[in-house]
């Protein structure tokens, strides 16, 4: 039996009306579906944003409770990026669908936007006002005010050629020719200006964009800069900036305390790559209220032999905060010249070994393949976290205040931890997984407890690990260093760029200004170009203006 709704009309007009009605109903249904999709996407993005804010607040209030916290936040930010893009796309689709239907368009509630920075130039575009009233047609219009809509825009990168004209003059008396000197170029008979050179350097060593990719991008912009040409400029800049690097190196090695660490960097060899190393030594006195500016120093090597840190730190005498790498051991010997370094081990390293055995969240994801949670490891993490709670409270205080607080609150926790670890160790067999992290600490207990006797020492070596993060991420982009000298050059430039970052300076702007001034700058005043002095000079000029 046929339903009446399925019967087709006999006349053309009725058929035409039915088709229009079907189309309207279809558009209505599509608009409703698009609106529902937009609402769902908006809700997902809102939930993602709130979850991220909650995790950040937890970290700020309670501190990082797991080694995965930083990676978790980065992952959540990437997820939020996709959710926000989906929500915006679905919102526009719902708006377009609502135009041809009676369904109300969906509009997302976005977070309030911050005003644009005051230093940005404003370009005022005044729209042509109406010449007559759109209602009655009268030409008697009086201005009441104006509404301003601000749109953030970017001007595409502009290339230009600066022609420096040097006029020649001939003396009528002695027939000698006088002419101003040619402008300075880093490369002999070069052509690249300081801003271009700074961009090339920062893209390669700060943003990890190899020169071949830069060359391809410039070619798409109509500028032919070959790989060999760019490499020529990089080598010349390294030579010119050597005096500045030397001063940073001396500043770092004159510190009372250094953070030291290293990471792998593939270095090209015959038919393969060797696992080379980038070493870093960071001077950062801010945790104990020091006034000396922070700086980072990098070196490169093709292997990890102990001779490298011995050579790097041959003139250094003070405190070395690092992991338990055996290559540092000769630095702590009593007969070392100019004297043994003080060893301060990283509690974050020791905590990480326990945390792997006590990671409840990771085990929950493994389901049937989950390993048993070690109650000893869980208790060790809890006790170590109590020390980190104290350190967060005294961070930035003077060395004296830090030392007094540690003697009052941290020492009892450390003493109890040692006694507890030794007691638990007697009950464990050699095959127990938690035996390794316990032995790791107890065999090096003096190095772990050094911080109790000196307020300048930090509980962790995170400053050095942060300084190496760029190499850990960048090597995925540039794959390997082409030679030993290439690795040395990467370490050289990383010293300049990271030191600028540690002093809250735009590395590219600083490099551009230094390259423009260094040729005419007196050798005795090169220290004026150091990042912290450069920053103070710029601040003084801005204040005077």
pLDDT, position 93: 74
Q: How far apart are CA 395 and CA 457, in angstroms?
A: 11
> Could you tell me which of 215, 213, 161 has the C-alpha nearest to residue 191?
161
Q: Which two tokens stand for residue 538?
A: 């710029």
**In Å, how far are 122, 175, 327, 375, 428 from 261, measured between CA atoms?**
46, 65, 11, 31, 32
DSSP assigned state of 481: B
Q: How much is the average pLDDT of 109-135?
A: 81
Q: How much is the average pLDDT of 260-276?
A: 85
pLDDT, position 281: 97
For 307-350, the pLDDT digits (tens) are 999 999 999 999 999 998 988 999 999 988 888 999 999 999 89
Residues 6 or more apart whose Cβ sits within 8 Å of residue 348: 67, 459, 460, 461, 462
Q: How much is the average pLDDT of 200-228?
A: 89
pLDDT bracket for residue 286 (50, 70, 90): very high
Cβ–Cβ under 8 Å, residues 243 and 523: yes
Given a cut of 90, whether residue 137 has pLDDT beyond it is: no
Q: Which alpha helices (H) appear in 479-530, and where do they start and end?
A: 484-502, 507-517
Residues 6 or more apart whose Cβ sits within 8 Å of residue 192: 185, 186, 200, 233
Strand partners, 259: 282, 321
pLDDT bracket for residue 366 (50, 70, 90): low
Percent helix, strand and coil across the chain, each to the nearest 5: 55, 10, 35
Q: What string of DSSP letters covers 213-234?
A: HHHHHHHHTT----HHHHHHHH
Given a cut of 60, whether residue 48 has pLDDT beyond it is: yes
Given a cut of 60, whether residue 428 has pLDDT beyond it is: yes
Q: How far apart are CA 357 and CA 312, in angstroms?
A: 36
pLDDT, position 110: 63
Contacts 24+ apart (CB under 8 A), 115-118: 116/150, 116/152
Token pair 């060359």 in the structure block, residue? 215
């Amino acid at each position: 039996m046929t339903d009446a709704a399925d019967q087709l009309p006999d006349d053309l007009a009725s058929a035409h009306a039915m088709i229009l009605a079907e189309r309207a109903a279809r558009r209505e249904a599509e608009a409703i579906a698009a609106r529902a999709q937009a609402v769902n996407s908006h809700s997902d993005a809102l939930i993602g944003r709130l979850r991220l804010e909650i995790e950040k607040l937890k970290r700020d209030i309670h501190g990082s409770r797991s080694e995965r916290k930083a990676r978790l936040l980065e992952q959540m930010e990437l997820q939020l990026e996709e959710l926000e893009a989906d929500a915006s796309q679905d919102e526009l689709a719902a708006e377009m669908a609502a135009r041809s239907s009676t369904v109300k368009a969906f509009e997302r509630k976005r977070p309030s936007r911050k005003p644009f920075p005051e230093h940005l130039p404003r370009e005022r575009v005044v729209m042509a006002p109406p010449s007559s009233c759109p209602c009655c047609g009268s030409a008697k219009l009086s201005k009441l005010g104006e509404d301003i809509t601000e749109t953030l825009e970017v001007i595409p990168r502009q290339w230009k050629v600066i022609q420096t004209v040097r006029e020649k003059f001939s003396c009528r008396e002695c027939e000698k020719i006088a002419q101003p000197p040619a402008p300075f170029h880093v490369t002999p008979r070069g052509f690249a200006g300081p801003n271009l050179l700074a961009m090339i350097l920062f893209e390669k060593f700060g943003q990890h964009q190899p020169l071949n990719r830069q060359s391809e991008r410039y070619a798409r912009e109509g500028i032919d800069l070959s790989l060999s040409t760019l490499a020529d400029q990089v080598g010349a800049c390294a030579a010119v900036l050597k005096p500045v690097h030397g001063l940073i190196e001396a500043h770092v090695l004159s510190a009372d305390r250094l953070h030291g660490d290293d990471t792998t960097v593939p270095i090209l060899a015959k038919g393969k790559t060797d696992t080379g190393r980038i070493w870093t030594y960071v001077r950062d006195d801010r945790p104990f209220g020091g006034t000396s500016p922070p700086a980072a120093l990098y070196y490169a090597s093709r292997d990890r032999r102990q001779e490298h840190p011995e050579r790097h730190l041959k003139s250094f005498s003070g405190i070395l905060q690092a992991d338990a790498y055996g290559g540092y051991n000769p630095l702590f010997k009593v007969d070392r010249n100019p004297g043994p370094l003080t060893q301060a081990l990283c509690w974050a390293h020791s905590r990480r070994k326990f945390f792997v055995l006590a990671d409840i969240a990771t085990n929950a994801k493994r389901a049937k393949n989950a390993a048993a949670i070690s109650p000893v490891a869980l208790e060790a993490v809890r006790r170590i976290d109590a020390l980190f709670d104290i350190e967060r409270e005294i961070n930035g205080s003077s060395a004296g205040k830090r030392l007094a607080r540690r003697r009052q609150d941290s020492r009892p926790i450390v003493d109890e931890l040692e006694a507890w670890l030794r007691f638990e160790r007697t009950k464990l067999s050699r095959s127990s997984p938690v035996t390794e992290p316990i032995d790791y600490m107890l065999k090096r207990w003096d190095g772990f407890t050094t911080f109790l006797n000196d307020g300048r020492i930090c509980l962790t070596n995170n400053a050095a690990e942060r300084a190496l993060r760029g190499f850990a991420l960048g090597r995925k982009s540039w794959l390997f260093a082409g030679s030993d000298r290439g690795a040395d050059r990467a370490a050289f430039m990383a010293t300049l760029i990271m030191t600028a970052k540690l002093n809250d300076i735009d590395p590219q702007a600083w490099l551009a200004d230094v390259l423009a001034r260094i040729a005419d700058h007196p050798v005795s005043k090169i220290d004026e170009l150091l990042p912290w002095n450069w920053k103070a000079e710029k601040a003084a000029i801005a204040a005077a203006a």
